[in-house]
Amino acid sequence: MKISYGDLTIIAENLGSLYEDGIAIGDGLELLEELPLSKNYKNSIAYIRNDILLGKSLSEAFSKFDELYPGLFIGILKVGENSGQLGRTFNKLQMFYSKLGNIKKEVKNALIYPSFLIGTLILLGVFLAFVLIPSFYESYKNAGSEAPKVAEFLYNLKLSFNDNPILFIVSVLCYLPIIPLMIFQISKHFKGRFQFIRKIKIVKELEEFIFMLILSLILDSGVSLPIGFSYCSDSNDIKFLSDILKGINEEILKGKELSECLSNLSFLSKYSISMIKLGENSGSLTVRVKKAEERLEKKTKESISKLLSLIQPTLIITMALGVVVFIWIFVLPMFDMIYGGVM
């Protein structure tokens, strides 16, 4: 089962509205079953409603399905129950997961066209490798000229497939399980050496936005920062920030100010840290963090759009270079051979 930000948004939004309209949580959960939720979430709502009717608390009932409802969702919900502000809490959760879902959708949409181009590039490579290049090898062979080694290798590969396609496919399938093992062994060897990915500008901006969004939710909910960070570090939908949040929590419990704890985080910009420090000094931390989070959301979406505008021409140029290399290696020598024969 997989966490769905869309389903979490629908659940939080509607439970918040129904609760504020005076409808009991049990009845509200029954009404949720009519909404366009995925099968797993619909089934969970039915079980949660039964637990509520048996007298269990809302957070306790939701926690039985922690693979669908993150620790952060359940923790903030518990705070809302204890503070008597359940409607407001649901609204805050709705805003949080709506923004997380939107940014995830932005990233997915940005990758659709590049994925299509990469797929086209792979198909073009397969066509060249198994159809066009072997035919060029035959032309070289018939003309009595020496063919490129790549063409000879691919020609022999094609012959193996033509002689016994079933055996060829079975042989390839037998080697396929080795690839994940090789990747796993390589990743173990280079563990910790791929941290450079987190230094890429857009990755840092995404991490910064998500962190500030989490911080804004914690401050809005009224829960203390140590408890809020504890909920977040145990949440199964933001594991990439788990260790960082635990470290911040430990520093806060030692008596340090939030801005001091965050000063060494590489993905946080000077702007965000300055806004947090300003909020601490002026007593308006919640407002300042909210403003920073909204600005970062806009900035992140703009960066994703810019990245997409760069990826598309880059892939098209790569395809063009592949065609040029093919012509240079296989086609031009063929023309030279024909021209030499005519002369």
- Encode the chain in three state secondary structure: CCCCHHHHHHHHHHHHHHHHCCCCHHHHHHHHCCCCCCHHHHHHHHHHHHHHHCCCCHHHHHHCCCCCCCHHHHHHHHHHHHHCCHHHHHHHHHHHHHHHHHHHHHHHHHHHHHHHHHHHHHHHHHHHHHHHHHHHHHHHHHCCCCCCHHHHHHHHHHHHHHHCHHHHHHHHHHHCCHHHHHHHHHHHHCCCCCHHHHHCHHHHHHHHHHHHHHHHHHHHHCCCHHHHHHHHHCCCCCHHHHHHHHHHHHHHHCCCCHHHHHCCCCCCCHHHHHHHHHHHHHCCHHHHHHHHHHHHHHHHHHHHHHHHHHHHHHHHHHHHHHHHHHHHHHHHHHHHHHHHHHC
Q: Which residue has the tokens 């990755």?
A: 203
Higher pLDDT, 338 or 289: 289
Q: 93 and 113: one domain?
A: no
Tens of pLDDT, residues 200-248: 788 888 888 888 988 888 888 777 888 888 877 766 566 677 788 888 8
- Higher-pLDDT residue of 335 and 193 is 335
* Average pLDDT of the chain, as a whole number: 81
pLDDT, tens only, 22-48: 888 888 888 888 888 899 999 999 999
Domain encompassing residue 26: 5-99
**Residue 80: closest CA among 7, 26, 20:** 20
The pLDDT value recorded for residue 341 is 47
Instruction: Please check whether residues 160 and 247 belong to one and the same domain.
Output: yes
The 10 Å CB-count burial string (b at 16+, else e) for 208-227 is: bbbbbbbbbbbbbbbbebeb
Residues 46 and 182 in one domain: no
Decide which of 99, 126, 159 is a domain's last residue: 99
- The CA distance from 11 to 73, in Å, is 11
**Is there a single domain that holds both residue 286 and residue 331?**
yes
**Residues 218, 124: one domain?**
yes
Mean pLDDT of 119-144: 76
User: Cα(339)–Cα(341) distance, rounded to whole angstroms?
Assistant: 5
Q: What is the pLDDT of residue 316?
A: 79
Domain final residue, candidates 57, 79, 99: 99
Q: Does one domain contain both 32 and 85?
A: yes
Between 4 and 175, the higher pLDDT residue? 4
pLDDT at 36: 86
Q: Are residues 180 and 149 in the same domain?
A: yes
Is residue 91 domain-shared with residue 124, that is, in the same domain? no
Judgement on whether residues 67 and 120 belong to the same structural domain of the protein: no
Residue 330's pLDDT band (cuts 50, 70, 90) = low
Lowest mean per-residue pLDDT among 86-100, 136-150, 278-292: 136-150
Nearest in space to 107 (alpha carbons), one of 285, 339, 301: 301
Q: Which of 69, 99, 129 is the last residue of a domain?
A: 99
pLDDT digits (tens, 9 = 90+) for 159-215: 877 888 788 778 777 776 776 676 666 655 555 544 556 667 888 888 888 889 888
Same domain assignment for residues 163 and 18: no
Burial class (CB in 10 A: 0-12, 13-18, 19+), 248: buried
Cβ atoms of 35 and 10 within 8 Å: the answer is: yes
CA–CA separation, 220 and 88 (whole Å): 9
CA-nearest of 90, 69, 54 to 5 is 69
Q: How many domains does the chain have?
A: 2
pLDDT in tens, 248-277: 888 888 888 888 888 888 888 889 999 999
pLDDT at residue 187, rounded to an integer: 58
Provide the CATH number for the domain around residue 86. 1.20.81.30
pLDDT > 70? residue 11: yes
pLDDT reported for residue 183: 66
Let me know whether 146 and 185 are in one domain. yes
Does 76 share its domain with 119? Answer: no
pLDDT the model gives residue 333: 67
Cα–Cα distance for residue pair 61/53, rounded to 1 Å: 10
